[in-house]
Amino acid sequence: MASKRDKLIRLLSKNGEQYISGQELSEQLDISRTAIWKHINELKKDGYEFDSAPKKGYRLTRIPESYNESTIKWGLSTEWLGNVLYFKESIDSTQNMAHDLAKKHAPHGTVVIANEQTLGRGRLERPFESNKGGIWMSVILRPQMAPHQAAQITLFTSVVIAEVLSTLTGLPLKVKWPNDLYINDKKVCGILTEMNGELDSINYLIIGIGININQNENQFSSNLREKATSINIASNLTWNRAEIVQDILTALEKNYEQYMDTGFHTYKQKWASMAYKMNEMITIQTPQKTYSAKLIGIDDNGALLIEHGNETVPLYSGEIIW
């Protein structure tokens, strides 16, 4: 349930350049004009700025460069993705909270975001470093699709996020099968898709997205420093995470609808055009063996296509270790 303060911010931000009178705010929020005035003063202390004019009322002119539920929701123009959005300063893992919410019937499009995770995780329970400065987010989806299509969702998500980040920053984002984004040979983002369902249907999917944004090298542990990067390190600029989250949610919503309507084909092609080490020799590790092969793309199911000997072979699981 949104607080009166959140509702006030939302009303003022929806009104954009227009003034909104104290009387109208008081009616819409069902609180006195004195209470409105008190909320406005509290918001000013938190860095919000307003214009106020006699007889006209208030208009919001600036929100603080901070990362919280209000700054993320301010200006978020999606239809359903992030309509229900939880923001936590610190959490074990946004995946855990998203699973709990999904089991309690949270709607399709619910989003959980944290400023920091103490137990962020990757695949196979590998730890995922999630200090303050990055974007750590889980999205609950309830798609009507067969469970085997879930692999496509990870690849689809990596393409959409790579497009958003490269458009925004101009950096050379690459996708690495099955779930990573790379910049200049270093990992900048990992995606973890978890599923709950039956043999033939998905109950819900949780897409976990971890992106290193404003961290500097010293914020990574020493064993990660060689292999991880952040948007800040690669661009030498500090970025507004709330705006990046908004761009990602907007692009994910639009592309999800397109993907559900028209299928994976477009994303498969986009993936190939952004693939790290496309048409190069890579080293693959499976539980059975480590071997070299040429990366030539992905297939309709999201399996990696490699050329091995004279054969084209789909790889459904394994790691590219170079």
Nearer to ligand BT5, 237 or 321 (CB): 321
Is 174 annotated to bind a ligand? Reply is no
Query: 8 or 137: whose CB is closer to ligand BT5?
Result: 137
What's the alpha-carbon Rg for the chain, to the nearest Å? 22
Stretch that binds ligand BT5, among 36-44, 93-101, 290-298, 304-312 (CB under 6 A): 93-101
| 93: contact with ligand BT5 by CB under 6 A | yes
Q: If DSSP codes are grouped into helix, strand and coil, which group holds residue 47?
A: coil
Cα separation, 46 vs 59, whole angstroms: 16
* Cβ-based nearer residue to ligand BT5, 212 or 255: 212
Cβ-based nearer residue to ligand BT5, 25 or 152: 152
> Residue 64, interface with ligand BT5 (CB under 6 A)?
no
Candidates 14-22, 60-68, 164-172, 207-215; binding stretch for ligand BT5 (CB under 6 A): 207-215
Burial class from Cβ neighbours inside 10 Å (0-12, 13-18, 19+) for residue 123 reads middle
> Which region among 99-107, 162-170, 183-191, 248-256 touches ligand BT5 (by CB under 6 A)?
183-191
> Is 59 within any annotated ligand binding site?
no
Distance (Å, rounded) from C-alpha 144 to C-alpha 29?
A: 38
Helix or strand run (H / E) with residue 141: strand 135-141
Any contact of residue 224 with ligand BT5 (CB under 6 A)? yes
Query: Does residue number 210 form part of the binding site for ligand BT5 (CB under 6 A)?
Result: yes
Work out whether 137 is an interface residue with ligand BT5 (CB under 6 A).
Answer: yes
Asked if residue 171 binds ligand BT5 (CB under 6 A), the reply is no
Does 133 participate in binding ligand BT5 (rule CB under 6 A)?
no
Cα–Cα separations (whole angstroms), residue 181 to 44, 122, 221, 231: 39, 14, 19, 11
Instruction: Tell me how far CA of residue 320 lies from CA of 158, 169, 272, 276, 292, in angstroms.
Output: 16, 26, 16, 11, 10
Instruction: Starting at the earlier edge strand, list the strands of the sheet with 281-285.
Output: 311-315, 304-308, 290-298, 281-285, 319-320
Nearest-angstrom CA–CA distance, 12 and 10: 5
- Positions in the binding site for ligand BT5 (CB under 6 A): 93-95, 117, 120-123, 126, 128-130, 136-138, 179-180, 187, 190-192, 208-210, 212, 224, 228
